[in-house]
């Protein structure tokens, strides 16, 4: 398998094609050969966890700031937890500062992948990214 550095050099302009969208809604690219350049060998299928671009994206427009929803933690990072919402299957981020009322040292101290959580939609930016806050209240049950 070739390294990226074997194909393109820093500062080189390239043309790419979007071949899929990952579970975070970010594009997966494939380099398009220049005129006269041989096409690349058969491209591997998008990595596991990626959706083909023809599949419909979760409908984020139905969500609005203030909505209380349930979801499942799919992944964690140093800066927060990614949650797949039950409503429409959209993916959102709970920033580490929104996981609990007090200081959180590590995301994994509060949530783990697979955990069910109640969340509040804080905002949806112009790129469709969903920002969430973990909600812990006795009147909200997450099963």
Q: Give average pLDDT by consecutive 10-residue segment, the chain, 143 residues.
A: 75 82 77 73 57 47 84 94 88 94 93 94 89 83 65
The reply to whether 112 falls in a domain is yes
The structure's pTM equals: 0.58
The reply to whether 57 falls in a domain is no
Whose tokens are 């995301």? That residue is: 107
The reply to whether 14 falls in a domain is yes
The whole-number pLDDT of residue 27 equals 81
The whole-number pLDDT of residue 54 equals 43
The reply to whether 62 falls in a domain is no
The reply to whether 61 falls in a domain is no
* Number of folded domains that form the chain: 2
Question: Does one domain contain both 8 and 43?
Answer: yes
Which residue range is the domain that position 26 belongs to?
Answer: 4-52
The whole-number pLDDT of residue 39 equals 65
The reply to whether 63 falls in a domain is no
Q: Which long-range contacts (CB under 8 A, 24 or more apart) does 22-29 make?
A: 22/46, 22/47, 22/49, 22/50, 22/51, 23/49, 23/50, 23/51, 23/74, 23/82, 23/84, 23/91, 24/82, 24/91, 25/57, 25/91, 25/128, 25/129
Q: Hey, how many other C-beta atoms are within 10 angstroms of the C-beta on 90?
A: 24
CATH number at residue 96: 2.40.50.140
Task: Report the SS3 class of residue 114.
Answer: coil
The reply to whether 115 falls in a domain is yes
């Amino acid at each position: 398998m070739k390294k990226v550095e074997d194909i393109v050099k820093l500062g080189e302009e390239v043309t790419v094609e979007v071949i899929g969208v990952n579970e975070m809604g970010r594009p997966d690219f494939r380099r398009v050969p220049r005129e006269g350049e041989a096409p690349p060998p058969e491209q591997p299928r998008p990595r596991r966890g990626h959706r083909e671009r023809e599949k419909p994206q979760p409908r984020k427009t139905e969500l609005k700031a203030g909505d209380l929803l349930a979801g499942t933690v799919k992944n964690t990072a140093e800066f927060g937890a990614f949650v797949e919402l039950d409503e429409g299957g959209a993916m959102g981020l709970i920033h580490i500062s929104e996981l609990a009322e007090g200081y959180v040292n590590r995301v994994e101290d509060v949530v783990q992948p697979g955990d069910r959580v109640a969340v509040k939609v804080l905002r949806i930016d112009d790129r469709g990214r969903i920002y969430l806050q973990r909600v812990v209240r006795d009147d909200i049950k997450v099963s």
